[in-house]
Amino acid sequence: MHHEHRNRLLTLFKDEDKSIIYLRGGAVSRRYNTDFEYPFRQESNFLYVTGVDEPDMSAVLHCGTGEYVLVIPRRDAQFAVWMGYVLTADDYIGKYGPDKVIYDDELSDWLKKLKPETVHGLPGSEQDIRQFGLTPETGYLQDALAWCRVIKTDGEIANLKTAAAAANQAHLEVMQAVCPGTYEYEMKAVFDYHAIRHGQLHPPYSGIFASGPGSAILHHTGKHRQLDDGELFLVDAGTECHGYASDITRTYPVNGRFSPIQADLYDIVLDAQTTALNLIRPGNKMEDAHLAAAKVIVTGLRDCSLVKGDIDELMDKNVFALFFPHGLGHFLGLDTHDVGGYPKGTKRIDRPGLRFLRARRIFESAMVLTIEPGLYFIPALLEPALADKGISGFLNGKRLKELFDFGGIRIEDNIIVRDDGLENLTTVPKIRQEIELVMR
C-alpha cells in the first residue's frame, strides 16, 4: 500500500530528476516537564508515505530514481534496557520495505554526496533541512500530499472499513447501555471498551458524549454530566485502524423513547441527511449537497411552526444557519478531519452556515467523507437573532425560548464515493423505530 502511495506522490515530481523529498516522522511527546509519555501516534504524512509507526524516524525519496531511504536513530544498549529490542538496519528493510536504511548520524554526509538540486519538505521542516547545509522548498509538498491523500487506495479503504466496523459495534453497545442515571463518562467507557476489544487502541479524536443542553455544543468536551430521563444523548465517536479513522454520530433519547417534539426534530435531521446522501455522486458539488440539507432543515422547522415565512426567503436570509451552523461533512482518512478540503485557489464561501464547510470540492470516486447534518438550539445564536429586527420576524420566539435547553441532534455516517453513487460504511441504527427497538 505505501509503495503505491510513494509512487503516486513521485508522479507529481517527475520533472525534478535531481530533487529529493524529505519527511520527518513524529517524536514521543511528554506531559509538561515529566517522564509521562503520551501514546505515540505517527505524523500522518509520514505514515502515508512509509507506513512506519515508530518515533524518531525520517525518510528521503529521490524524485528521479524513486529510491526510498529510511533514516533510523542509532539506539544503544541502554535504550534496549528501557524500551526493548533494538532493530538492525536489515530488520527495518524487512519490516517496512525501504530501498536503503541509514542512521541519522550518517544523513548529513550522505546528503552532501547526493547534492540534490531541491529539497522539498513540509512547512516547519526548514530548520531540519538547513542543518544539512541545504535550502528547503516548502511551498509544494504539502499540497502534493493532500492531493494524493484525498483519493483513497484500496488498502486505505480496507483500513477505513475495519475502523468503521469497530465503531459501528461500539456505538451499538452504547445505544443499548444508555439509561437514565448513568453518566456520560460511563458511556464513553463502554465505547472505549468495545473499540479496544477490536484492537483499536488509538482513538482518532477525543469523542463527544453529550447529554441534554450539552448536545448543542458542537465540540463538547465535558463528560461528567448525569443523563436525565426525557433528554437526548449525542455520541460522536470513532476508532482508528492503522491510522485510518472512523467518525460516527448518533443521537437518541436517554429513556429509549422519543417524545413528540424529539421525534419531529429528529426526523428533520434524518430527512436532511437522506437528501444529502442522495446527491453524493461524482460530478456534484459539496456545497450544493450542504444547501439541499439546509433547505430540508428550514422547511421542517417551518412545518413545526418554529420558523415562519417563504422557504426561499428563509434560505436567502440564512435563517438555516441559526440551527445548522457547521458544515455538512469532511474528508476522512489518516486524520479525522482529513486534508484536501480546500485545494490551492479554492476560497471559503463567506456566508453564515457555509463559511465553516470543511471541504469544498466536487465529489470524485474513492473520496471518503462524513455526511453529518445537525439541528441545534444554541442560545448564543438564537438570542441575538431574536433581538435582530431583520431576522426576528422569521422566528417563533416564544416556542424557541422553550427549547433553549433542548440541546441538539446530529446524525453522521461515513461514506465512500463510488462511480454510481456511494457506499455507506455506517450501520448503526438511525431510523427512530429501529433505535427504540434496540433500546428496549
Among the listed residues 25, 44, 30, the one whose alpha carbon sits nearest the alpha carbon of residue 92: 25
Check 30, 219, 348, 351 and give the catalytic one: 219
Mark whether 376 is an active-site residue: yes
Cα 302 to Cα 28, 184, 336, 400, distances in angstroms: 52, 33, 34, 12
Mark whether 412 is an active-site residue: yes
d(CA 203, CA 191): 11
Q: Cell digits for 267?
A: 426526523
All residues at 6 or more sequence positions from 296 whose CB lies less than 8 Å from its CB, including other chains: 268, 271, 272, 275, 373
Check 15, 31, 32, 35 and give the catalytic one: 35
Mark whether 236 is an active-site residue: yes
d(CA 132, CA 24): 14
- Provide the edge-to-edge strand list for the sheet that holds 232-237: 208-211, 232-237, 248-253
Mark whether 220 is an active-site residue: no
Check 330, 360, 361, 413 and give the catalytic one: 330
d(CA 376, CA 321): 10
Q: How many CB atoms lie within 10 A of CB 365?
A: 15
Mark whether 247 is an active-site residue: yes
Check 41, 198, 337, 432 and give the catalytic one: 337
Mark whether 4 is an active-site residue: no
Check 156, 184, 372, 413 and give the catalytic one: 372
Check 247, 287, 338, 413 and give the catalytic one: 247
Mark whether 326 is an active-site residue: yes
Check 48, 194, 376, 413 and give the catalytic one: 376
Mark whether 330 is an active-site residue: yes
Give the H/E segment covering residue 368. Answer: strand 368-371
Check 137, 338, 412, 413 and give the catalytic one: 412
Strand partners, 58: 24, 71
Check 137, 184, 231, 236 and give the catalytic one: 236
Cα 158 to Cα 43, 67, 96, 121, 417, distances in angstroms: 20, 27, 19, 29, 14
How many Cα atoms occupy the beta-carbon half-sphere of 429 within 13 Å?
Answer: 16
Mark whether 312 is an active-site residue: no
Parallel/antiparallel/unpaired status of strands 58-62 and 68-72:
antiparallel
Check 5, 194, 290, 410 and give the catalytic one: 410
Check 5, 6, 220, 326 and give the catalytic one: 326
d(CA 34, CA 288): 49
Residues assigned a catalytic role: 35, 219, 236, 247, 326, 330, 337, 372, 376, 410, 412
